[in-house]
Chains A and B, each alone.
Chain A
């Protein structure tokens, strides 16, 4: 879940279906949890600070089976806002940051280390995800367990650019043939990282000034071909399905939504590397619920069943490897997860960009977008 999902709340299809129901559901959960809080004054309930669609009962079923009482949820809408709230004294037990924000949480000393030995499902987590330990402490402490992820790639019309089916490359977004038929996401990462990958930057998440300059030139060239920079998923889906554009930077959920409507699109896993975003769980320093409750909850959300639910209902990848075999091949194909090994191979797990570099990236993105 991203900050701009909030925008798509107004943006068309998503309003009616996903978000609206989730808003209603979260309201319901608030009501339910108030009641149960009264019922169990003796034990402090687990408090989870998470995104609006991450609070569904299917996602923590094993926890319910064990404790017969749902955690209480509070809804977060933006990583920065969550960080500010915790910094100013709010202490939930569990929080759900996006991976590249975790270092900022750790820097502010807001998180407690997680002992993965206490999680029975930890060994089922995909190895590339398990191997990376974002913002690890000096003794290898782990502050974040990955949970759902999604890809950033290219959604394109098969009828307009069939040759890219066998040549998956970011260069499709620089193809003069598609002039005026390309849309990019209006976010610094979405324009700059692909350009950096094409330019062969050493580390696309920590660009040097020279590399940023090359990227800037590439983006200026690309700008001549771009129809618009999109802000909501519904917007780009609509443009792809009407044929207003032929290729766009998009998420696998963008592709899945179009496939569902039988639009002739394909999802391109760029050989130069495909950035992947990850949301996961962290323990908040100062959370007062029982340790056992916290670990039971983490273990529950990491279960294969929860992952399968996330894949088929939220269109998000699961961190649990087993989840993929529990979902029908048709769904996996629709989501582009049939190419899981390709994704794992070319996947570029999002890293935190150093703040100074991030500011330069945002400034560059704004210049490009405003015609400079």
Chain B
């Protein structure tokens, strides 16, 4: 079989790809992998430029010495050493906090989103699209406005306090509603809710209903069906949304700067301040790399756990 025959369209006219293949070594021409690579190239190039180039710039800057503009560029490890010096306690503590707050947020989001997605997937039969659109409505307004309006809810004369006072439960407004870690978690949970509902809904919706019937026929109760069939099959959606939410929440700085107070400041706030007020881009870059590495480690650990879990189930 000649390569022209392989690549030619049914109509007999050679495509661009076919002409290209003529100049390729024969072992490549028949390679599916090569064709896949070719098809992936545009997306890959885009990612290479947008992600790889900017991240490598960031890494490069993080090794730069802090110098006046115009002075010759020098490279140093001092930014990273500063992270582990005694004065670097603030970076380490804020990094831990920036992993802890997103973790709480992710758990809270999944706990709220899962039942919602479950009911939508299994118990709502009409106008599903309408429900899905309704879920996204809070996200039609700007992130900042949506976040800021939580002040109205949690504030000293806010909705929660006024309501509790009206019920007679409290005589002084609750002050712990704002300006601490808890407030940040509440607001972030709301901010990222839709990003969990939709993936979990999709993975629940995809579940073949005959599996559930089969489980029931074999004598499982509803709870057992959920735990042994529905939940495991929906975990891909749960994991993907968890990772998405965790990573995004870890990098947030608007919410902690509005709601964080002293206990809820996150490392994003510090990075912004280093870049702007302190005019110390190298240190800011080093802290950013530090955060990225921590996130990569967490995400890899979660992926590994998921993989082990799948293997364990397969061997069951």
Contact residues of A with B, CB < 8 Å? 3, 10-12, 78, 80, 87, 108, 180, 186-188, 223, 226-229, 231, 235, 238-239, 242-244, 355, 358-359, 362-363, 365-367, 369-372
Cβ–Cβ contact A244 & B179, under 8 A: no
Cα of A81 to Cα of B290 in the assembled complex, Å: 26
Cα of A226 to Cα of B260 in the assembled complex, Å: 13
Cβ–Cβ contact B257 & A186, under 8 A: yes
Q: Can you list 21 A-B pairs with a CB-CB distance of less than 8 A?
A: A10-B144, A10-B148, A108-B69, A108-B70, A186-B257, A188-B277, A223-B262, A226-B262, A227-B175, A235-B151, A235-B258, A243-B157, A359-B278, A359-B280, A362-B273, A363-B278, A365-B277, A366-B269, A369-B262, A369-B265, A370-B265
Contact residue among A87, A187, A371 (Cβ-Cβ distance under 8 Å from B69): A87
Cβ–Cβ contact B179 & A228, under 8 A: yes
Contact residue among A229, A235, A242, A362 (Cβ-Cβ distance under 8 Å from B277): A362
Cβ–Cβ contact A242 & B156, under 8 A: yes
**A229 CB contacts on chain B under 8 angstroms:** 261
A362/B157 contact (C-beta < 8 A), A231-B257, A370-B262 known: no
B155 within 8 A of A: yes
A187/B258 contact (C-beta < 8 A), A10-B144, A87-B69 known: no
A228/B178 contact (C-beta < 8 A), A223-B262, A366-B90, A370-B265 known: yes
Contact residue among A180, A187, A223, A370 (Cβ-Cβ distance under 8 Å from B175): A180
Cβ–Cβ contact A231 & B258, under 8 A: yes
Cα of A227 to Cα of B176 in the assembled complex, Å: 10
| 6 extra interface residue pairs, beta carbon distance < 8 Å, beyond A238-B151, A370-B90 | A3-B276, A10-B148, A228-B261, A235-B258, A242-B157, A358-B278
**A226 CB contacts on chain B under 8 angstroms:** 262
Cβ–Cβ contact A370 & B179, under 8 A: no
Quote the shortest CB–CB distance from A127 to chain B (angstroms): 32
- In order of increasing CB-CB distance, the 4 nearest A-B pairs are A362-B278, A244-B156, A10-B144, A370-B265
**A80 CB contacts on chain B under 8 angstroms:** 276, 279
Cα of A223 to Cα of B179 in the assembled complex, Å: 13
Quote the shortest CB–CB distance from B149 to chain A (angstroms): 10
Cα of A149 to Cα of B148 in the assembled complex, Å: 29
Quote the shortest CB–CB distance from B252 to chain A (angstroms): 15
**B262 CB contacts on chain A under 8 angstroms:** 223, 226, 369-371
B174-185: CB near A (< 8 Å → 1, else 0) gives 010011000000
Cα of A186 to Cα of B94 in the assembled complex, Å: 17
Cα of A217 to Cα of B273 in the assembled complex, Å: 22
**B36 CB contacts on chain A under 8 angstroms:** none
B89 within 8 A of A: yes
**A367 CB contacts on chain B under 8 angstroms:** 90
**B94 CB contacts on chain A under 8 angstroms:** 370
Cα of A295 to Cα of B235 in the assembled complex, Å: 69
**A235 CB contacts on chain B under 8 angstroms:** 151, 258
Cβ–Cβ contact A366 & B270, under 8 A: yes
Quote the shortest CB–CB distance from A84 to chain B (angstroms): 9
A11/B278 contact (C-beta < 8 A), A180-B175, A244-B155 known: no
Quote the shortest CB–CB distance from A239 to chain B (angstroms): 8
Cβ–Cβ contact B90 & A372, under 8 A: yes
Cα of A231 to Cα of B278 in the assembled complex, Å: 17
**A78 CB contacts on chain B under 8 angstroms:** 276
Cβ–Cβ contact A370 & B93, under 8 A: yes
**B179 CB contacts on chain A under 8 angstroms:** 227-228
B72-103 contacts to A (CB < 8 Å): 89-90, 93-94
Cβ–Cβ contact B258 & A10, under 8 A: no
Cβ–Cβ contact B261 & A372, under 8 A: no
Cα of A12 to Cα of B269 in the assembled complex, Å: 22
Cα of A187 to Cα of B89 in the assembled complex, Å: 21
In the complex formed, the residue of B with least CB distance to A242 is B157
B210 within 8 A of A: no
Quote the shortest CB–CB distance from B72 to chain A (angstroms): 16
Cβ–Cβ contact A10 & B142, under 8 A: yes
Cα of A11 to Cα of B151 in the assembled complex, Å: 11
Cα of A290 to Cα of B269 in the assembled complex, Å: 45
B263 within 8 A of A: yes
B139-150: CB near A (< 8 Å → 1, else 0) gives 000101100100
In the complex formed, the residue of B with least CB distance to A223 is B262
Interface centre among A11, A366, A367 (most CB of B within 10 A): A366
**A358 CB contacts on chain B under 8 angstroms:** 277-279
Cα of A30 to Cα of B278 in the assembled complex, Å: 33
**B89 CB contacts on chain A under 8 angstroms:** 372
Quote the shortest CB–CB distance from A230 to chain B (angstroms): 9
**B178 CB contacts on chain A under 8 angstroms:** 228
Cβ–Cβ contact A371 & B263, under 8 A: yes
Interface centre among A186, A187, A238, A369 (most CB of B within 10 A): A369
In the complex formed, the residue of A with least CB distance to B66 is A359
In the complex formed, the residue of B with least CB distance to A9 is B144
Interface centre among B90, B155, B261, B277 (most CB of A within 10 A): B277
**B269 CB contacts on chain A under 8 angstroms:** 366, 370
In the complex formed, the residue of A with least CB distance to B263 is A371
Quote the shortest CB–CB distance from B61 to chain A (angstroms): 15
Quote the shortest CB–CB distance from A371 to chain B (angstroms): 5
B243-266: CB near A (< 8 Å → 1, else 0) gives 000000000000001100111010
Cα of A239 to Cα of B270 in the assembled complex, Å: 25
Cβ–Cβ contact B69 & A244, under 8 A: no
Quote the shortest CB–CB distance from B297 to chain A (angstroms): 23
Quote the shortest CB–CB distance from A336 to chain B (angstroms): 26
**A223 CB contacts on chain B under 8 angstroms:** 262
Contact residue among B69, B145, B279 (Cβ-Cβ distance under 8 Å from A10): B145
In the complex formed, the residue of B with least CB distance to A187 is B277
Cα of A370 to Cα of B101 in the assembled complex, Å: 14
Quote the shortest CB–CB distance from A134 to chain B (angstroms): 19
